[in-house]
Each structure stands twice: as C-alpha cells, then as structure tokens.
Amino acid sequence: MIKRTLYFGNPAYLSLKNMQMLIKLPISGNDNEATDEDKNEKYKDRNNQNTFPIEDIGIVILDNQQITITQGLLSSLLDNNSAIVTCDSRHHPAGLFLPLESNLEQSQRFQEQIEASVPLKKQLWQQTISSKIINQALLLNKIGVKSDNMKKWARDVKSGDPDNLEGRAAAYYWKNLFPEELQFQRDRYGKPPNNLLNYGYAILRAVVARSLVASGLLPTLGIHHHNKYNAFCLADDIMEPYRPFVDDIIVTLVRDGEDFTELTPSIKKQLLTIPVIDVFIEEQKRPLMIAVQRTTSSLAKCFSGNQRKIIYPVFRL
C-alpha cells in the first residue's frame, strides 16, 4: 500500500481521534487548507476539519511556525512508522523524527549492522556508487547529453571507490545537467535551483530513513558516510542512487521555464510527489517508496550474510 505524504503549510491544530489524524484549520483558512499531494477532499466535514487514517500516513511535513501537534498524535504516527519532517522559518527542512523501534528483530539487526566488516561495507559502497553513476548517466541521456564516459566510470568503480569516481562523475554531471546559461554549481547554500534540490533530497531522505527503520536498521551507522554530527549517515548512503529521480523532476521544471527562484506552492506540490513516482527495480515498475523498501530489505540481508548485493532501481528513459 502506498502511504500518503501530508504537507502542512498553514497554521493548523493536529490531534488524534479514533486512530485518525484530526486536522483543525483556522476559520479563515480556505484555499490553502492542509492536504496531501492529490488534494483528496473526501474527509472534509462541515466544521473546517479534515481526518486521515493513521495507517495511511507515511510522511508528515510541518512547514509553518503556528502548527500545534499533540503527543497522542505523535505517538500514533511513530507507532505506524511514519516519518515527521519539520521546517524552519525559511521553509527549509530542519529535522526528521522517526520511531526508535518498528521491527521485531531490531536488536539482532543492529548487532549485524554494527559488526559488518570493512570489506563488506566497501563492497556495498562500490555497488551504491556504481548504481548512482549509471542512473546519473541515463538521466543525462534523457536530456540529450552524451554520457558514455560516465557509464564507463560506473563499470570501473572499485571496492570502496578509492579512485573517487563518484566525484569525477559528479563534476561532469552537474556541469551538463542544467542549461549552460545557468552556470550551475551544486552547493547546498548556493543559488537556485539548489534550493529545489535541497527540498527534494530532504523528502527523499525521509523516505529512506523511514524504510531503514522499518527494516530494523539504524540510520545513524553508515557504510560510507560517518560524520559524527550526522544522525542519518546510512540514509545518506542509501539514497545516493535515488537522487537522479529527484533531479529529473527539477530538471524538467527548469527546462519547462517555470520560475525556480522560490519554493512556490506549485513547485512544492510537484516535489511532494517524490514518494510515489514510478521507478524500475528488478525489471518491474514500482512507486519509489516501495522500491526503497526493497532496497533497505536487501541491505539488511547483506548485513546478515544472506545476500551479497543491494537491490537498487535503474533509471529508465
């Protein structure tokens, strides 16, 4: 089942009633009511309230400083393995809230993850970077840019990527992804469309972190990333081959001439579809959120010794 992504950009009071998220909006709120990505209105009642079944919710994004959420609702969302993303006053994602336990074998899987050998982690990183580079190459092909060099680099990635082919591929990729007149440079704090990339990646990160927890893994312990200030190193590792799917949405926005200098409601609406966009994994079309679950499940099997390869999606033209 595809879980909903709920976005709240206006003041709201969020509480729990009969295992439903009860959304109370200000009396003056009308056109900008909080709702999910498909604007489903069937739960709306006459008291300016909406309700959504807790079991249907996958991600909640809180993007207003005047939102109130009750402890009962938070607890129920976490019991349902929902990810909760909070945004700061600039509307940038600032925090991610996940359950501490949502898998019956969590303790055992934590131990397997902690005891994973360095050679295993290097091999997993090799697979991850190879998949990332090939997906970047295929996206460049889609927009008419030659990428035979990147396909070769994807094949040449060695265990642990000691030659930093990820960095070499990234330099070529970002130079050619957007129209030349933008003179784009990928920088988290750089000029647009970096803001769109940051927002899209935050949504993707929440999807991956949520799935890692569901698979009984600890998002903090990465296979490559190991910044001591980063609580989601493993999520940042595993999301790498998925980034081109986010890039594809943003490249389309830019090339279609949409104003990308601000994170407008229209752009946010399109980025909020990230969890449900179709990707190909194991030769089958699946929503991204489902594909990520397949990826994290395969990673857990790699840590346990029951599998040797992480299953990642392949970008299709």
What residues are designated binding site for Mn(2+)?
Answer: 166, 225, 240
Provide the pairing of β-strand 4-8 with 35-36: antiparallel
The continuous run of DSSP H or E covering 266 comes out as: helix 265-271
Instruction: Report the C-alpha gap between 76 and 83 in whole angstroms.
Output: 11
Q: Residue 60 corresponds to which amino acid?
A: V
Distance of CA 133 to CAs 162, 169, 267, 302, Å?
Answer: 15, 7, 26, 21
Whether residue 23 contacts residue 69, with contact meaning beta carbons closer than 8 Å, is answered with no
Side chain identity at 279, as an amino acid letter?
Answer: V
Q: Which residues of 13-40 are buried (b: 16+ CB within 10 A; e: fewer)?
A: ebebeeebbbbbbeeeeeeebbbbbeee
The answer to whether the CB of 292 falls within 8 A of the CB of 284 is no
The Cα–Cα gap between 315 and 21 comes to 35
CB 208 within 8 A of CB 299: no
Rounded distance, CA 314 to CA 214, Å? 23
Q: At 174, list the tokens.
A: 């970002």
Binding positions: 166, 225, 240
Nearest to residue 206, comparing CAs of 87, 316, 313? Answer: 87
Using CB atoms within 10 Å of the CB of residue 272, give its burial: 0 to 12 exposed, 13 to 18 middle, 19+ buried: buried
